[in-house]
Amino acid sequence: MTDEPIPLLDLTLQYRALARTLLPQVEALLASGRYIGGEAVRQFEELFSQFLGGGDLETVSCNSGTDALVLALRALGIQPGDEVITTAFSFFASAEAIDLVGARPVFVDVDPCTFNLDPQLLERSISPRTKAIISVHLFGQAANMTQILAIAQRHGLAVVEDCAQAIGACWGGKPVGTWGDIGCFSFFPTKNLGAAGDGGAVVTRDPQLARKVRILKDHGQVGQYHHEYIGLNSRLDALQAVILSVKLPYLREWNWRRQAIAEGYHRLLQGIPGLILPQVAKGGNSVWHQYTVRVPGSHPTDSRRRDRLQRQLQKRGIASRVYYPTPLHLQPVYRKLGYKPGDLPNAELCAAQVLSLPCFPELTLQQQERVALAIAEILAEEP
Ligand SMILES: Cc1ncc(COP(=O)(O)O)c(C=O)c1O
């Protein structure tokens, strides 16, 4: 058994495998002198729409997943005075985008088995000011879009899907991002489809929304130097579009690898006392952006056992990460909203108990066995 460190993720392996295909394309783009917009960006948008099923789906690329969410909310007309419901357990951008358009986030608790928003709790958070729901597909797992859409339709609410972590995941056999009014994607380097820098995209079947996003991402320009809105400068660089177009054909295979890795962890970690494995809800699947276990302590928000496990893994050269140590409703910036500890207990429990293990397509079975053995030994040696 080797004692080589095991990283949470190693992007250099993917680069090395693709370098021979990637570099001539990057060089051709650099030689073209066309660095903003143009054919490379158009082509990626087309390929991305096809990846998600094609048809009347339109992709509008932009600078990041955060911008994708902001552009989606702006295109839907969300404004100050409006409320937007989202999960209390996600990366900050899922809520930040709501504030960036001047609206107020309203947080809903999660199902601690899947880490996704619990649709049973959604309806009671709807007020006369609610205009939209941002449904996040966390850690790669599709949220229950059937229930979320049914509630949204009953109350006339728009649905934005935050698919930053779940490119290629499906609910009911249909890709996430194609269920709601708009799907938002991130191509941050560590995502399942990652650029060599920032990138993002919005997808929609509504041509009016697509047109509005295109205008908003380009300074609100309707014709050249004719501005009808205050917009953003939010472009996907042509260089990133080239890189993403080279990588996209591999994404399904990478996602299958992640699914095989998750199955491997399930098998290797099953039955270890005091460890809770992630579950996938019936009706959907996961592309395992993260493989996240829970390590409960002596009470629901006691993080000491989890933190000890992480420290001990680190001592053995095994990386792990806490995504996310503080739920959104308890972030310092949201004190203004008046939430208190205990308000959204499952999100708080997740924040105290979660630990994401190394998970990336190139991770080997031997490395997984080392991770699993280390976890079993560390938990067996607990004081
Ligand atoms: C769930 C979620 N939403 C939104 C974002 C924002 O994406 P970006 O970093 O591309 O702005 C991220 C990732 O970073 C994310 O994980």
- Per-residue confidence band for 246, with pLDDT thresholds at 50, 70 and 90: very high
> Any idea what the CATH number is for the domain that residue 176 is in?
3.40.640.10
- What confidence tens digit (pLDDT) does each residue in 257-285 have? 999 999 999 999 999 999 999 999 999 99
61: phi then psi, degrees, rounded to nearest 5: -80, 160
- Report the residue among 184, 187, 188, 217 best suited for mutation to probe ligand 1: largest number of ligand atoms under 8 A from its CB: 188
Residue 275 lies in a domain: yes
CA of 167 to the centre of ligand 1 (A): 12
> Any idea what the CATH number is for the domain that residue 327 is in?
3.90.1150.10
What is the pLDDT at residue 19?
98
CA of 164 to the centre of ligand 1 (A): 5
pLDDT at 247 over 80: yes
What is the pLDDT at residue 383?
79
Q: Are residues 208 and 332 in the same domain?
A: no
What is the pLDDT at residue 234?
98
Q: Are residues 92 and 155 in the same domain?
A: yes
Give the whole-angstrom CA distance, residue 287 versus residue 129: 34
* CA-proximal residue: ligand 1, atom 13 (nearest): 164
Q: Which residues lie with the beta carbon below 6 Å from any ligand 1 atom? A: 64-66, 90-91, 93-94, 136, 162, 164-165, 186, 188, 198, 200
Residue 3 lies in a domain: no
Residue 4 lies in a domain: no
CA of 247 to the centre of ligand 1 (A): 19
* CA-proximal residue: ligand 1, atom 8 (nearest): 65
Count of domains observed in the chain? 2
Q: Which residues of 274-301 are buried (b: 16+ CB within 10 A; e: fewer)?
A: ebbbbebbeebbbbbbbbbbbbbbeeee
What is the number of the ligand 1 atom nearest to the C-alpha of 165?
A: 16
pLDDT at 186 over 80: yes
Residue-number span of the structural domain to which 341 is assigned: 251-380
- Decide which of 230, 249, 268 is a domain's last residue: 249
Q: Are residues 133 and 67 in the same domain?
A: yes
Q: How many CB atoms lie within 10 A of CB 221?
A: 16
Give the whole-angstrom CA distance, residue 82 versus residue 70: 14
pLDDT at 202 over 60: yes
* CA-proximal residue: ligand 1, atom 7 (nearest): 65
pLDDT at 140 over 70: yes
Mean of pLDDT values over 197-225: 97
Q: Are residues 202 and 259 in the same domain?
A: no
Residues in the chain: 383
pLDDT at 211 over 70: yes
Q: Are residues 64 and 199 in the same domain?
A: yes
pLDDT at 138 over 60: yes
What is the number of the ligand 1 atom nearest to the C-alpha of 137?
A: 1
CA of 104 to the centre of ligand 1 (A): 19
What is the pLDDT at residue 90?
98
Q: Are residues 239 and 258 in the same domain?
A: no
What is the number of the ligand 1 atom nearest to the C-alpha of 136?
A: 1
Residue 1 lies in a domain: no
Q: Are residues 190 and 290 in the same domain?
A: no
- What confidence tens digit (pLDDT) does each residue in 60-115 have? 999 999 999 999 999 999 999 999 999 999 999 999 999 999 999 999 999 999 99
Residue 262 lies in a domain: yes
What is the pLDDT at residue 382?
81
Q: Are residues 188 and 288 in the same domain?
A: no
What is the pLDDT at residue 156?
98
Q: Are residues 302 and 228 in the same domain?
A: no
Q: Are residues 260 and 179 in the same domain?
A: no
- What confidence tens digit (pLDDT) does each residue in 310-344 have? 999 999 999 999 999 999 999 999 999 999 999 99
- Decide which of 199, 220, 249 is a domain's last residue: 249
Give the whole-angstrom CA distance, residue 258 versus residue 291: 9
- What confidence tens digit (pLDDT) does each residue in 19-53 have? 999 999 999 999 999 999 999 999 999 999 999 99
What is the pLDDT at residue 281?
96
Q: How many CB atoms lie within 10 A of CB 126?
A: 18
Mean of pLDDT values over 374-381: 97
CA of 376 to the centre of ligand 1 (A): 32
- Decide which of 249, 273, 304 is a domain's last residue: 249
Give the whole-angstrom CA distance, residue 153 versus residue 273: 43
What is the number of the ligand 1 atom nearest to the C-alpha of 188?
A: 10
Q: Are residues 242 and 355 in the same domain?
A: no
CA of 290 to the centre of ligand 1 (A): 14
Q: Are residues 84 and 232 in the same domain?
A: yes
Bridge partners for 321 per DSSP? 356
Give the whole-angstrom CA distance, residue 272 versus residue 291: 16
Residue 2 lies in a domain: no
Residue 322 lies in a domain: yes
Tokens 């579009």 identify what position?
Answer: 241
What is the pLDDT at residue 3?
78
Residue 5 lies in a domain: no
